[in-house]
Amino acid sequence: MFLLYLVRLIPSFTSAALASVYSENVSVEILENIPLAPLTTLKLGGPARHFVEAHSMSEVQQAVAFARERSLPLFVLGGGSNVVVSDKGWPGLVLKVAIGGIELRGDTTDGKLHLAVGAGESWDKFVSHAVMADCAGVECLSGIPGSVGGTPVQNVGAYGQEVSETISSVLALDLSDGQVREISNAGCGFKYRTSIFNSSERGRYIIVQVSFALTPGGKAHIVYDDLKEHFAGWQAHPSLAETREAVRHIRARKGMLIVQGDPDCQSVGSFFKNPVISAEQLADLKKRALQKGLTLPSYPGLQTQHKISAAWLVEQSGFSKGYGFGNVGISHKHALALVNRGGATASDLLTLRDEIQNRVEALWGLRLETEPVMV
């Protein structure tokens, strides 16, 4: 029923570029009892009772209809690089969005290159395309694992860039009424590691396509200290390709690039967000640091707020790089990356999370917020 309802609604929302996606008529294959661990970068957690990989809008709709008709809870999976799957797994349907395609959109009157990218495309492959086409805007986001559709969810950011700076709109299936909506950049409510997709409207949308406005011939964005250090002494401004290589190199050094066989990257990247705190909280933290003979590193956050280094708080609470017990620990290369050293359970990992959160709170009066999604 729900599927028929959707099919009737879709034509009035199609854009020319997406017509081929909507007109496909494919019977989607729903699998049972599929292990989720191999589909995540943490490589832990239980199975999905039902699982489907959707390569088109039609398959997404069929999967949603399947879940609705059976009252199954639905979880949308991208590249699995920001999820912690529980040891019990997922009792309903896991829908992996695998819609591909990078399309050039006609309008270049604003001097930008407009691209519409399928949510299932690999993010780093898209960045590579943009850099090869000499288009600036996402070069500092090189090497972030996961799918294009996953990037707006937590407004991914790294090395001085955030994806919200280049996303022009997001096309999504609205599960509240079955309509396909084009959500403008402003409508996505982007903030630091936040959007409507992981806050006020969590679980409402399935992102099927993301549109970007890139700057052809634009300069590489070199503002972050690590990048400045990397290029220190260079006469010419680094190209986009050189910047991409530098970012990937720095990320590999920090265990923030997926490298086969490196246990330090069996993680979700940073497990904790950098706290954004008020002036009063900052004053309190500075006082606590002073009492311990330490200086608090800080940098200006949004307007009246201050962003604090979560890595510093973790390390100053006795959790150094390489810390761990049994199968879980902290990466040897990055204090914020909790890693599965092999054979860990989600429960092991969450015990370590609790230990870190509790000790940081006891010593610094701040509860660290976690970044990944608990499934």
Ligand X SMILES: Cc1cc2nc3c(=O)[nH]c(=O)nc-3n(C[C@H](O)[C@H](O)[C@H](O)COP(=O)(O)OP(=O)(O)OC[C@H]3O[C@@H](n4cnc5c(N)ncnc54)[C@H](O)[C@@H]3O)c2cc1C
Q: What number of chain residues touch ligand X (CB under 6 A)?
A: 34
Subset of residues 93 to 132 that bind ligand X, contact rule: CB under 6 A: 97, 119
d(CA 125, CA 114): 17
- Cβ proximity of 120 and 97 under 8 Å: yes
366 lines the binding site for ligand X (CB under 6 A): no
Say which of 270, 317, 331, 353 is annotated catalytic. 270
State the DSSP code for 10: G
Q: Least distance (Å) from ligand X to the CB of residue 251?
A: 7
CA distances from 233 to 207, 225, 239, 245, 253 (A): 43, 14, 15, 17, 21
Q: Least distance (Å) from ligand X to the CB of residue 160?
A: 11
Element (H, E) at 307: strand 306-308
- Cβ proximity of 256 and 339 under 8 Å: no
Q: Is 270 a catalytic residue?
A: yes
Q: Is 371 a catalytic residue?
A: yes
CA-closest candidate to residue 310, choices 364, 355, 354, 264: 364
- 45 or 149: CB nearest ligand X: 149
- From residue 144 to residue 173, the character string flagging contacts with ligand X as x (rule: CB under 6 A) and all else as - is xxxx-xxx-xx-xxx---------------
- 74 or 285: CB nearest ligand X: 74
Q: Is 248 a catalytic residue?
A: no
Which residues, including other chains, have CB under 8 Å from residue 34's CB and lie 6 or more apart? 47, 48, 51, 94
78 lines the binding site for ligand X (CB under 6 A): yes
- Cβ proximity of 82 and 268 under 8 Å: yes
Pairing of strands 113-118, 205-216: antiparallel
18 lines the binding site for ligand X (CB under 6 A): no
d(CA 356, CA 375): 20
- From residue 27 to residue 46, the character string flagging contacts with ligand X as x (rule: CB under 6 A) and all else as - is --------------x-----
Out of 18, 207, 285, 349, the residue judged to bind ligand X by CB under 6 A: 207
- 202 or 292: CB nearest ligand X: 202
269 lines the binding site for ligand X (CB under 6 A): yes
Maximum separation of any 2 CA atoms in the chain, in Å? 67
Residue for token digits 């910047």? 243
- 268 or 285: CB nearest ligand X: 268
State the DSSP code for 176: T
Say which of 68, 193, 244, 353 is annotated catalytic. 193
311 lines the binding site for ligand X (CB under 6 A): no
d(CA 227, CA 140): 9
- 142 or 357: CB nearest ligand X: 142
Q: Least distance (Å) from ligand X to the CB of residue 197?
A: 6
Q: Which residues are catalytic?
A: 193, 270, 371
Q: Kindly list the residues in this chain that would bind ligand X in the complex (CB under 6 A).
A: 41, 76-83, 97, 119, 144-147, 149-151, 153-154, 156-158, 197, 205-207, 256, 258, 265, 267-269, 373
